Structure 1
Amino acid sequence: MIKVEGLTKTYGGFTAVDDVDFVCQPGTVTGFLGPNGAGKTTTMRIMVGLTPASRGRVTIGGHHYKDIPNPGRHVGVLLDASAQHAGRTGREVLTVGARTMGLPDSRVDEMLELVSLDAKESKRRVRNYSLGMRQRLGIAHALLGEPSVLILDEPANGLDPAGIRWMRGLLKEYAERGGTVLLSSHLLHEVEIIADEMILIGRGRIVARGDKKSLLAGAGTTATFVTALDNEALAAGLKDKGFAVSSAGEGLRVETEPVEVGRVAADRSLVLTDLRAAEEGLEDLFLSLTSDSQRDHLTEGPAA
């Protein structure tokens, strides 16, 4: 379990992380979401002792990271896939890690196979790796010590669609075995597919948290896309019930849950050809809650 309590980090007059509190439970994937410069990376660096906190604390399994013996066996970390020794081969990077942690060299072969780096690729210098290959190598290194906690900063960067799908399956399986995953990203769609819980951060402060359903319910952003054989009759029936209705492609967008739309259609004996929740609701919520950070990033440039 990861527990963050009152975490604050200031640089002179600038506050990068502002009184942040959250918990990541075992058996879950927690998505840590925010625009570039919102404070995600700074928070994660504090977690693993790379940046000192100004106030507050982070514990992993009840301990500060610096107090965990042989921490790679308990906490897997990927903060920057490019921060690997460019002159070493992929195999050498993992071998150094394995020997530092007291692991057999056979563990290196297991990890290379897991992340699909073949024998030829594992012998190439890291400087000649693509970003996607470096991400795979970084994930392999994070998993090398069979840790119970994973802390991953933007692990999907550089992965192709097949690689992103592979990563989702890998992390889901890891959490199902009881592992704790904290996964940061500014790409909402990629995280909402895998995350059990989501934490939204902007300007260094937590602006929302919860699973997808509770976030949308709390924001009142639930909407439905629907298409019927008689859209006009369905729209009239929905409006009679007080629901806001607008055109959307070949169908309608209705500001309510799909079940309510289905009830109106059933009451009026209308045939539906499409009925689904509007997937963009969470994205709209994310953008509205972090709009200040989005503007700051455009005008000031990124901050960790």
Structure 2
Amino acid sequence: MIKVEGLTRDYGNFVAVDDISFTCKPGTVTGFLGPNGAGKTTTMRVMVGLTPATRGEVTIGGLHFHDIPNPGRHVGVLLDASAQHAGRTGREVLTLGARTMGLPMSRVEEMLALVALDDTESRRRVRNYSLGMRQRLGIAHALLGDPSVLILDEPANGLDPAGIRWMRGLLKGYADRGGTVLLSSHLLNEVEQIADEMLLIGRGKIVARGTKAELLAGAGGAGTLVVAEDNDRLVAALDERGISHTPVGLGFRVDAQPVDVGRLSVEKSIVLTDLRPVEGGLEDLFLELTSDTQRDDLAHLPAPTGAPL
């Protein structure tokens, strides 16, 4: 199990991860979703001891990563498929990993077969691998020690549709056998087909969490995202009117129309800093909750009007 408690990582005045807490349970695939730069990779680097936390902590199986004996046998990690030694062959990469972990060489053959790197491909230098082949090699290395936890950052990058389907089946089977999977991505459609639970992050904060069904149910009808200068007063006013609300990001998702929430805020003299409707499916909810983290320049691009040149 992965447990994140009050994790914060800042770089001077820039806060990459801002006081986040969540748990990834055995037997589940947790999708860690957010735009590029939202804090996903930083969180994962803290998990595996590559980046120190400013505050808070992460434990895996009750231990900090650096306290886990022979960690590759317990935690499989893939953060950057291109970080593998370009001058070694795929087989050499796995062989060195197996020797480091004290594994039999037969495990190398098993992993090469698992990720469909044949004898010719396994003897090629990693510098000559496509990105998809590097991803498959990285997944093989993460699974080499037969760990109980997998931490994978954007593992589908470079995979073709068949490769993505293969990866989904592999990870789902791993979780069904009791493994814990944390899978990050900035592509919602890539993850929603496999994740049992989802964490949505934007600007270093968790803005929504839940199962697919819970998030879809919340996104299926009309609702309002609202943030107040004094959220405690806002909650009291909503409770007084019997309006249900759910914490989301810096504010709440409210089961009422924006105009009704606005009238209530005026009546109670509550200053609102954000008030907007939420409608549509899970993708719409994702874009709404992370809208302030999307690239501003893309919003100003003109819509395509004709055939490409």
**Per the shorter chain, which TM-score range?**
0.7 to 0.9
> Is 1:10–2:44 an aligned residue pair?
no
Per the TM alignment, residue 216 of structure 1 is displaced from its structure 2 partner at its CA by 2.4
What secondary structure does 1:76 align onto? Answer: strand
- Match of 1:147, SS state, is coil
Which residue of 1 is the match for residue 78 of structure 2? 78
- Structure-2 separation of matches of 1:295 and 1:220: 26
Q: How far apart are 1:215 and its partner, in Å?
A: 1.1
Give the drift of 1:219. Answer: 3.8
What runs of 5+ residues in structure 2 fail to find an aligned partner? 223-279, 300-309
Aligned residue number for residue 96 of structure 2: 96
Q: SS of the residue aligned with 2:193?
A: helix
Post-superposition Cα deviations, 1:88-128, rounded to whole Å, max 9, x if no partner, equal 00000000000000001110000000000000000000000
Alignment map for 1:147-296 (pairs within 5 Å): 147-221=147-221, 281-295=281-295
The aligned residue for residue 302 of structure 1 is none
CA-to-partner distance for each residue in 1:178-220, whole Å, 9 max, x for gaps?
0000000001001000000000000000000001111122344
State the TM-score, normalizing by the size of structure 1. 0.78
What is the aligned-residue RMSD (CA, Å)?
1.8
Q: Is the 8 A contact 1:5 1:56 kept in 2?
A: yes
> Is the CA contact (8 Å cut-off) linking 1:78 and 1:155 kept in structure 2?
yes
Residue 40 (structure 2) pairs with residue 36 (structure 1):
no
Match of 2:149, as an amino acid?
V
Q: Secondary structure at the match of 1:157?
A: coil
Letter of the 1:45 partner, please give it.
R
Equivalent residues in 2 for 1:106-145, closer than 5 Å: 106-145=106-145
Distance (whole Å) between structure 2 residues aligned to residue 297 and residue 55 of structure 1: 33
Aligned-partner Cα distance in 2 for 1:296–1:102: 50
Give how far 1:221 is off.
3.8
AA aligned opposite 1:35:
P
Q: Which runs of 4+ in 1 moved over 6 A?
A: 296-299
Please give the secondary structure, in 1, of the residue aligned with 2:83: coil
Q: Which has the higher contact order (CA 8 A, sep 6+)?
A: 1
Where 1:82 maps in the other structure, the secondary structure is helix
Q: In the superposition, relative to structure 1, how do residues 174 and 30 fare at CA in structure 2: closer, same or farther (>3 Å)?
A: same
Query: Does the aligned pair in 1 maintain the 2:219–2:281 contact within 8 Å?
Result: no
Q: How many residues of Structure 1 are paired with residues of Structure 2 in the alignment? A: 244
Say which SS state the counterpart of residue 158 (structure 2) adopts: coil
Secondary structure of the corresponding residue to residue 29 of structure 1: strand
Distance of aligned partners of 1:92 and 1:142 in 2 relative to their CA distance in 1, 3 Å threshold: same
Please list the CA deviations of residues 44-71 of structure 1 after superposition, one character each: whole Å capped at 9, or x if unmatched.
0000000000000000000000000000
Letter in 2 for 1:200: L
> 1:25 is matched by which residue type in structure 2?
K
